[in-house]
Amino acid sequence: MDYEEGTDLTNATFKAITPEESRQFLVQETIFTLFCVVGICADAAIIYTIFCFKRLHSVPNIFLANWAIADLCSLIVTPSSYRIISVIESVSVSQEFICFLFHTDLIFHSTAMVFMIVLSLDWCLSAFFRRVLESFRNYYKVIIGSIWVIALLLCSISTRLCIKRMYHFIPGYLLLFCYCTLLLFVGALQLFRSTRKIIKREPTNHPTLMLTLATIFVLNWLVGLSNFLVYELGGPDYHWLVTIFAQCIIFTSSIINFILMYRFNNDFHACVCQALKRSDERYVNAICELGTSDRSTNITCQNASGHELMENA
């Protein structure tokens, strides 16, 4: 369990990272960092696509983009990359900076969970409480701003405490609280949706993509936290690859969410294709729905419509 001891996120004490110590975990941290880099790219793609195209500026998408920002921040400050830097540059990383990395990482993870809670709440209101939905969405900027102010305030307080070497594990408790809240809320929504479908034989007509994204996020974290709790409770001594897999699965959420948005959201698919300058059948159909004023796109839409008419004839 040497690697697990080196990555204990609830430890109230920290020690400096030295090149000698980092070399012991170089393979593990390299694998971990590669997953983080791919996750960062997926988060950046989600953020760019949603904010770049006005068609995607719906309230749920804005919540999702802010989740991606929080997830991106958590991946950037992941301590694993700094172990690699310690080996390459042959420098030690101070315990104050390690404390800052761990606490900030946990706070940004908690922030991402809060945005998933808000996204799930928005889906719940849009599916079952339409009258309340409009009032809720009128204050979406206030909600987003408040979440970020609290997150940055917590980061500032934790940084100050780390500088004074007043180590604590409050961010760890905060993360567990946010996750349990998200788990119970998403689980209740899925249970209610399934029960309604079985008893009333009346499926929810509202699109379930956003709820699916939240569910996958919950399941990914369930794997990682389960591995951590097994270690904390004195469970069996797993191979280090099991620990790496359990931790890396957490950072696949952004990758999976990007794939699902690209696959099942026509507007998102169209905007990504437009950004990549692609042209396929689904891209053409979705771009036509966007009502773009681009001349080349309009010609493509007209050609596509004419092609469909010829096929129908």
What mean pLDDT comes out for the span 52-60?
93
**Which CATH architecture fits 2-267?**
Up-down Bundle (1.20)
Q: What are the CA-CA distances from residue 164 to residues 11, 160, 208, 290 (Å)?
A: 17, 6, 47, 54
Q: Which residue has the higher pLDDT, 3 or 131?
A: 131
Give the whole-angstrom CA distance, residue 136 versus residue 126. Answer: 10
Give me the pLDDT at residue 174, please: 93
**pLDDT, position 58:** 95
Pair 106, 9: CB distance under 8 Å: yes
pLDDT score recorded for residue 312: 37
Q: What is the predicted pLDDT for the residue at 246? A: 80
Better pLDDT: 151 or 285: 151
**pLDDT band at 240, cuts 50/70/90?**
low
Q: What integer pLDDT is reported at residue 204 of this predicted model? A: 62
The string of pLDDT tens digits covering residues 85-109 is 666 666 677 778 888 888 999 999 9
Residue 113 to residue 214: CA distance in whole angstroms: 9
pTM of the model: 0.82
The sign of the CA dihedral 252, 255, 259, 260 is positive
| Domain coordinates in residue numbering, the chain | 2-267, 279-313
pLDDT in tens, 181-230: 999 999 999 999 888 888 876 666 678 999 999 999 999 999 888 877 77
